[in-house]
Amino acid sequence: MLEAVLIIGPYGSGKSTLAAEMSYLLERRHAPHAMLDLDYLGWAGTGGDAGREADLAMTLPNLAAVTANYLAAGIRWYILAWYIEDGSEVQAVRQVLGFPMRVARLEIPLDVIGQRLGPDPTAERQDNLREAARQIESGGGVGSEDILLSGDRPVRELAEDLLARLGWMY
Structure confidence at residue 162 (pLDDT): 97
Q: What residue numbers bound the domain in which 91 lies?
A: 3-166
Structure confidence at residue 47 (pLDDT): 57
CA distance linking residue 54 with residue 69, whole number of Å: 23
Q: What is the pTM of this model?
A: 0.91
Q: Cα angle vertex 83, ends 37, 102, to 5°?
A: 75
Structure confidence at residue 170 (pLDDT): 63
Instruction: Specify whether the CB–CB gap between 19 and 35 falls below 8 A.
Output: yes
Q: Report the CATH number that the domain containing residue 10 is assigned in CATH.
A: 3.40.50.300
- Please enumerate in sequence order all residues whose Cβ is within 8 A of that of 144, keeping only pairs 6 or more positions apart, or say none: 8, 84, 86, 87, 90, 103, 105
User: Cα 155 to the chain's mean position, in Å?
Assistant: 14
Structure confidence at residue 45 (pLDDT): 63
CA distance linking residue 159 with residue 148, whole number of Å: 13
Structure confidence at residue 129 (pLDDT): 84
Structure confidence at residue 139 (pLDDT): 84
Question: Would you tell me the crossing angle of helices 87-97 and 52-72 to the nearest 10 degrees?
Answer: 30
Instruction: Specify whether the CB–CB gap between 167 and 48 falls below 8 A.
Output: no
Going residue by residue through the chain, which has 170 residues, state the pLDDT in tens, using 9 for 90 and above.
899 999 999 988 999 999 999 999 999 999 999 999 998 998 876 656 667 888 888 999 999 999 999 999 999 999 999 999 889 999 999 999 999 999 999 998 888 888 887 777 677 777 888 888 888 888 877 888 999 999 889 999 999 999 999 999 76
Total structural domains in the chain?
Answer: 1
